[in-house]
């Protein structure tokens, strides 16, 4: 790699998972990690192994399947944390321990209750310990941007001497301006002994909406790794969005002579996958991956676009894998065409999964005249997400309309046994959710119920997101169906499945933050 290569370090599964309600299962982490590996992400931060047994197992599983990317686990500065992290990642082809400690005065005083010398000793100890286990060690100065510059230099020098190979300078609270953040890197790179032997990394939070700008400023000042997350997931306002960083460097190669190895055509799927897994919708006007990012509404813009797309587009939708409007298959389409389409969309299904997906596609094509790429993505994602669920909707019949009462008649399979009930409600959705509550008693509160149309038109599939909260545990799920009420029932039951899985995993499955 040339020194102009900027490594992309993805933290969707660690910092991103720290967004309240965004926790991911082991299978979901595996699916995402494999996609990122194929997309060319240099480093995948798969989790924080000591935070829970579930996270430990997920990081270990990711380490076992990723082929090209470095697989990294986060740890605090203690030996127990670092050992646990190493246990989880040591099976990776290319493992990395990422250890962090706060350096700012406010964190030293209130969070760590440590003096400067104690912090320095802890850095020396933790990096040495990590380096004795693993040849690739990243050290982060948490809250670096609010740290006195001379102390930050001392901390970084200590970490480098102890064997760190990457030095991360996080803007933990999203406080910096680009010129300030760049100046910190320039200073460290110029003045810290050994700085030329390590890779400097940017890790920016988006509290002031500056995470991507700050990351680019860091690269201009000498950083060669950017830590970011798909859809900008992360603590509070999130991290720098991976897709924005990757496309900024790609599109503005004229101004910035840096490259990444990201296959940008995979960005859209990555975004959809993260949105489906976390239940966090992508805002319509989100840069790069938003539904409207390549839409042109005004007459003047449309006229320009028809004459030459470059009049209003600085990149083509295909560059980022946005091709959602193409008409794909219809009811006469066969297996070969469907298989081809799945391959184009990035799915690799086993024989049974393919058969199920094909049957569901045929059912959809019978009900819906035009089947678009987005329909197929919703259909297959729905199948992948719910095929192993313990509770499955078998049949739903709803009476709705101006003359009440609205009623729902529902069959649910619970651990292989089908149960039936009927319920009335204040509207059809209320009746359905009441019937589900009767068959699967629970205390969970409904925190979010959201309906989106997958494509245009009155025959569009509905995609419903449901978030349930029960004793601090969050169950998020999304389901799609040509019938909005069926999608609602499926999403609610899927969220209950997520909660049930967390209950089984025990107290350790509570949402936890680093
Ligand atoms: O924002 C931050 O400081 C972090 C560190 C743990 C790297 O996420
Ligand atoms: Zn962070």
pLDDT in tens, the chain (514 residues): 457 999 999 999 999 998 877 878 898 999 999 999 999 999 999 999 999 999 999 999 999 999 999 999 999 999 999 999 999 999 999 999 999 999 999 999 999 999 999 999 999 999 999 999 999 999 999 999 999 999 999 999 999 999 999 999 999 999 999 999 999 999 999 999 999 999 999 999 999 999 999 999 999 999 999 999 999 999 999 999 999 999 999 999 999 999 999 999 999 999 999 998 888 889 989 999 998 888 766 677 767 777 777 887 899 999 999 864 455 678 888 888 899 888 877 788 999 999 999 999 999 988 887 788 888 988 998 888 777 888 999 999 999 999 888 999 999 999 889 999 999 999 999 999 999 999 999 999 999 898 988 887 888 889 898 989 998 888 888 888 999 999 999 999 999 998 988 887 665 444 443 4
Q: Are 167 and 161 in contact (CB under 8 A)?
A: no
Instruction: Please tell me the residue having the least CA distance from ligand 1 atom 8.
Output: 15
Cα(238)–Cα(231) distance, rounded to whole angstroms?
A: 9
Q: Starting from the CA of residue 111, give the closest ligand.
A: 1
Cα(111)–Cα(271) distance, rounded to whole angstroms?
A: 34
Which residues, 6+ apart, have CB-to-CB distance to 482 below 8 Å? Answer: 364, 367, 368, 459, 461, 462
Q: What is the predicted pLDDT for the residue at 258? A: 97
What is the DSSP code (8-state) at residue 357? H
Mutate to test the pocket of ligand 1, among 170, 226, 234 (most ligand atoms within 8 A of CB): 170
Instruction: Please tell me the residue having the least CA distance from ligand 1 atom 2.
Output: 172
Q: What is the predicted pLDDT for the residue at 323? A: 67
For residue 11, give the ligand 1 atom closest to its CA: 8
User: Which CATH fold would you assign to the domain 7-278?
Assistant: TIM Barrel (3.20.20)
Bridge partners (DSSP) of residue 466 are 449, 477
Dihedral (C-alpha) 236, 242, 246, 247: value to the nearest 10 degrees? -70
Is residue 172 in contact with ligand 1, taking CB distance under 6 Å?
Answer: yes
Instruction: Please choose, from the candidates 420, 68, 78, 443, the residue with its C-alpha nearest in 3D space to the C-alpha of residue 263.
Output: 68
Burial (CB count within 10 angstroms: exposed 0-12, middle 13-18, buried 19+), residue 317:
middle
Is residue 203 in contact with ligand 1, taking CB distance under 6 Å?
Answer: yes
Measured in whole angstroms, the distance separating CA 215 from the mean position of its chain's CA atoms is 19
Is residue 140 in contact with ligand 1, taking CB distance under 6 Å?
Answer: yes
Q: What is the predicted pLDDT for the residue at 330? A: 80
Mutate to test the pocket of ligand 1, among 9, 10, 13, 15 (most ligand atoms within 8 A of CB): 15
Q: What is the predicted pLDDT for the residue at 182? A: 98
Cα(26)–Cα(23) distance, rounded to whole angstroms?
A: 10
Cα(84)–Cα(190) distance, rounded to whole angstroms?
A: 35
Instruction: Please tell me the residue having the least CA distance from ligand 1 atom 5.
Output: 142
Which residues, 6+ apart, have CB-to-CB distance to 239 below 8 Å? Answer: 11, 15, 16, 203, 204, 205, 206, 211, 227, 228, 229, 232, 233
Where b means 16+ CB within 10 Å and e means fewer, 65-89 reads: bbeebbbbbbbbbbeebbbbbbbbb
- End-to-end C-alpha distance for the chain, whole angstroms: 32
Is residue 514 in contact with ligand 1, taking CB distance under 6 Å?
Answer: yes
Q: What is the predicted pLDDT for the residue at 2? A: 52
Q: What is the predicted pLDDT for the residue at 297? A: 65
Is residue 263 classed as helix, strand or coil in its secondary structure?
A: coil
Instruction: Please choose, from the candidates 308, 322, 378, the residue with its C-alpha nearest in 3D space to the C-alpha of residue 347.
Output: 378
Is residue 170 in contact with ligand 1, taking CB distance under 6 Å?
Answer: yes
Q: How much distance in Å is there from the Cα of 505 to the middle of ligand 2?
A: 26
User: Which pair of structure tokens corresponds to residue 32?
Assistant: 């995402």
Instruction: Please tell me the residue having the least CA distance from ligand 1 atom 1.
Output: 172
User: Which CATH fold would you assign to the domain 389-505?
Assistant: Double Stranded RNA Binding Domain (3.30.160)
Continuous segment of H or E residues that includes residue 348: none
Q: Are 6 and 260 in contact (CB under 8 A)?
A: yes
Q: How much distance in Å is there from the Cα of 153 to the middle of ligand 2?
A: 20
Mutate to test the pocket of ligand 1, among 16, 17, 81, 100 (most ligand atoms within 8 A of CB): 100
For residue 170, give the ligand 1 atom closest to its CA: 3
Phi and psi angles of residue 163, each rounded to the nearest 5 degrees, phi first: 115, 10
User: Which pair of structure tokens corresponds to residue 119?
Assistant: 């912090």
- To which residue do tokens 């989100």 refer? 286
Cα(266)–Cα(190) distance, rounded to whole angstroms?
A: 37
């Amino acid at each position: 790699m040339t020194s102009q290569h900027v490594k992309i370090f993805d933290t969707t599964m660690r910092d991103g998972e720290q967004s309240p309600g965004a926790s991911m299962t082991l299978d979901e982490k595996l699916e995402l990690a494999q996609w990122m590996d194929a997309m060319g992400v240099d480093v995948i931060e798969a989790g924080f192994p000591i935070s829970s047994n579930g996270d430990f197992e997920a990081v270990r599983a990711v380490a076992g399947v990723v082929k090209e990317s470095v697989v990294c686990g986060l740890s605090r500065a203690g030996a127990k944390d670092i050992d646990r992290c190493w246990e989880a990642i040591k099976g990776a082809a290319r493992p990395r321990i990422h250890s962090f400690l706060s350096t700012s005065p406010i964190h030293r005083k209130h969070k760590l209750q440590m003096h400067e010398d104690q912090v320095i000793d802890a850095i020396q100890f933790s990096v040495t310990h990590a380096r004795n286990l693993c040849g690739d060690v990243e050290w982060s100065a948490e809250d670096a941007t609010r740290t006195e510059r001379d102390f930050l230099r001392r901390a970084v020098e200590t970490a480098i001497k102890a064997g760190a190979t990457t030095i991360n300078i996080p803007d933990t609270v999203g406080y910096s301006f680009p010129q300030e953040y760049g100046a910190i890197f320039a200073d460290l790179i110029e003045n810290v002994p050994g700085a030329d032997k390590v890779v400097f990394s940017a890790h920016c939070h988006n509290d002031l909406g500056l995470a991507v700008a700050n990351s680019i400023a860091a690269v201009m000042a000498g950083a060669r790794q950017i830590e970011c997350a798909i859809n900008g997931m992360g603590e509070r306002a999130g991290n720098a969005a991976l897709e924005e960083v990757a496309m900024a460097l790609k599109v503005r190669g004229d101004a910035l002579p840096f490259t990444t190895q990201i296959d940008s055509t995979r960005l859209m799927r990555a975004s959809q996958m993260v949105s489906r897994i976390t239940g966090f919708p992508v805002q319509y006007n989100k840069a790069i991956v938003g539904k409207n990012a390549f839409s042109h509404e005004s007459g003047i813009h449309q006229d320009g676009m028809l004459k030459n797309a470059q009049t209003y587009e600085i990149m083509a939708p295909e560059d980022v894998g946005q091709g959602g409007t193409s008409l794909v298959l219809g009811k006469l389409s066969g297996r070969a065409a469907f298989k081809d389409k799945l391959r184009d969309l990035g799915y690799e299904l086993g024989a049974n999964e393919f058969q199920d997906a094909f049957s569901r596609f045929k059912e959809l094509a019978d009900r819906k005249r035009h089947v678009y790429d987005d329909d197929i993505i919703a259909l297959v994602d729905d199948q992948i997400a719910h095929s192993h669920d313990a509770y499955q909707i078998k049949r739903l019949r709803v009476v709705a309309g101006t003359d009440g009462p609205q009623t729902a008649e529902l069959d649910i399979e619970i651990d292989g046994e089908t149960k039936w009930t009927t319920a009335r409600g204040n509207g059809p959705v209320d009746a359905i959710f009441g019937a589900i509550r009767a068959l699967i008693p629970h205390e969970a509160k409904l925190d979010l119920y959201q309906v989106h149309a997958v494509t245009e038109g009155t025959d569009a599939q509905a995609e419903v997101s449901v978030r349930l909260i029960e004793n601090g545990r969050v169950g998020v799920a999304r389901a799609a169906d040509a019938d909005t009420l069926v999608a609602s029932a499926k999403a609610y039951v899927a969220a209950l499945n997520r909660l049930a899985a967390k209950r089984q995993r025990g107290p350790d499955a509570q949402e936890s933050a680093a």
